[in-house]
Structure 1
């Protein structure tokens, strides 16, 4: 076996046909205990593309972690050719405490590409970008909604990239949402390295939803099948509906504070003026109808029972791509 068939990652050598569980850590707790970030690697005996599957950049987004866990537990990560690298929880620090951020108060997804001598979050970002990401031919990164807001399953990509467009449609989530890469995000840093990345959003923090999980797992299987690396023992189902491509959107914000209840289901197509929910007070004297400002699809709903004036309560499409 030539050296080009050896994967050199995090100080380890993983040959074709081998499995490995390696880890990286950049710091110890104040108790001097190390916190390892497990990296699960499966390599076929046959060379092929390398897919990196990640979740848990935000420690409270457990639904993404569950998707990657199932990929590993079911053996979907064992390719018939090529390599699959899984990192179910990147922000282990936050995952332990069910916290979105790192112990240093920073959002890991706003410090990429990081620095070897920077903050704790910045060092993790730097190690991920320099020692793992360069091996990937494609990245699938899994997230959920935050602050009680439930996201419909969706793939987020930039406009004008035919390769990402094709991959997003193959993934088969109900929505493709075209959005710019956020500065210093994992998606932005990977894109600058010319490594294609699909960002999956679905569900909400502190929650595991079976529909979201199934959508994520099935989407991964479709992508692996498309690349020719899915183990032949797994079947691939077609999406039940065609993807709706959202080019423009707006947040509907609460005009009043109070108790909130949505009456429209997520994924629903609505018309301008349709009642989407109610804002009430605890005393039965106030009832405000939240109405759709335009025709569109509702692809995010705030599930918090108590809201304040200005809170984002619905995300509605304003422009669709044919």
Structure 2
């Protein structure tokens, strides 16, 4: 861990004991309206780790935004030691449009490390890595499932990294999935720059789920307590059951198009052969039962009322 004396982001310096909101402003809307991304920095007078909490990398994943908002409004982001940086909405353009991508059509989470003179999304990736990440020791990045697919609260880490596994044990989400870094992702770039990241998934796009929110907030408090950063005024909820590690999982896809009636919820354990959904046509001609191909945990469930043949409808541990 580095010795963080002065933290300077976008030419603004935050000294120990100071609080500051720094606005990252790279581009405007086509209406010339300024769009600012607030970077909220809270520093203790006592040196310690720098932890970054981020959300809204995909603009429609609002549940993560709510988790980071709660960390701020409940003053969990005021550290006993060290520094806590919160960026509740990275992709503010997508958030305005309630869409996953940037206005240039690109997925921000596939363009890292970005370019100073590239596409709009690429420029944001570049400045995030150049201005913020060099100060950071640890990061928790909050996401949600896309396209009506609801994720059970889970942490994702790369396999074979003992420190990340320890941090995942500390965070103690209901599930921890081993998943490799994806080329062009924020997580992959942070890993290359030596930042230890936990990626949190929970809930679905364009939705706020209170249970998922509380899992995220409680995990963040345990994470901070582990580094002795949690304010004495705040209490971290003791973990219940230890996180369930999932090394292998697979998607169940719809064999027919039709009305989708989900009978299994995310987080549920199902037995092999158990009926977990029904797909029917609107005219009463057929009804197809969807059965679990193996016993395992449903870690993602499709909440859409209509599905098409080939759609991913469940993600199940194997």
Task: Say yes or no: TM over 0.5.
Answer: yes
Q: Could you tell me which runs of 5 or more consecutive residues in structure 1 were left unpaired when the two chains were aligned.
A: none
Deviation digits for residues 201-228 of structure 1, max 9, x if unmatched?
0000000000000000000000000011
Secondary structure of 1:5's counterpart equals coil
Q: How many angstroms apart in 2 are the aligned matches of 1:51 and 1:313?
A: 35
2:248 aligns to what SS in structure 1?
Answer: strand
Separation in 1, partners of 2:146, 2:280: 23
Partner of 1:42: 42
Q: How far apart are 1:270 and its partner, in Å? A: 1.4
Q: What does residue 267 of structure 1 align with?
A: 267
Mapping of residues 54-65 of structure 1, within 5 Å: 54-65=54-65
Structure 2 partner of 1:105? 105
Q: C-alpha displacement at 1:30, in angstroms? A: 2.2
Contact 2:59/2:92, CA 8 A, preserved across alignment: yes
Matched-pair contact (CA < 8 Å) for 2:153–2:200: yes
Within 1, Cα distance between the matches of 2:255 and 2:4? 60
The corresponding residue for 2:114 is 114
**What is the deviation of 1:268?**
1.4
Alignment of 1:302-321 (within 5 A): 302-318=302-318
CA distance in 1, matches of 2:138, 2:190: 10
Q: Return the alpha-carbon distance in structure 1 between the equivalents of residues 64 and 274 of structure 2.
A: 32
**What does residue 168 of structure 1 align with?**
168
- Decide which moves more: 24-33 or 250-259: 24-33
- 2:67 corresponds in structure 1 to 67
Cα distance in 1 between the residues matched to 2:23 and 2:162: 34
Aligned residues: 316
1:223 — aligned with what?
223
Deviation at 1:32, TM superposition (A): 2.3
Find runs of 4+ consecutive structure 1 residues off by over 6 angstroms: none
Alignment of 1:205-224 (within 5 A): 205-224=205-224
Q: Which runs of 5+ in 2 are unaligned?
A: none
CA distance in 2, matches of 1:315, 1:29: 37
Residue matched to 2:251:
251
Equivalent in the alignment of 2:185 = 185
User: How far does residue 24 in structure 1 lie from its aligned partner after superposition?
Assistant: 0.9
Cα distance in 2 for partners of 1:298, 1:6 equals 46
Is 1:144 equivalent to 2:134 in the alignment? no
After TM superposition, give the deviation of residue 4 of structure 1 in Å.
5.7
Who is 1:234 aligned against?
A: 234
CA distance in 1, matches of 2:157, 2:61: 20
Matched residues in 2 for 1:141 and 1:4: separation? 22
What's 2:290 paired with?
Answer: 290
Secondary structure of the residue that 2:214 maps to in structure 1? helix
Post-superposition CA distance 1:257-313 (Å, at most 9, x none): 000011122211111111111001112221111001111111100000000000000
CA distance in 2, matches of 1:76, 1:231: 7
Task: Return the TM-score normalized by structure 2.
Answer: 0.98
Tell me, in whole angstroms, the C-alpha distance in 2 between the residues paired with 1:4 and 1:197: 19
**Alpha-carbon RMSD:** 1.0
Deviation at 1:105, TM superposition (A): 0.5
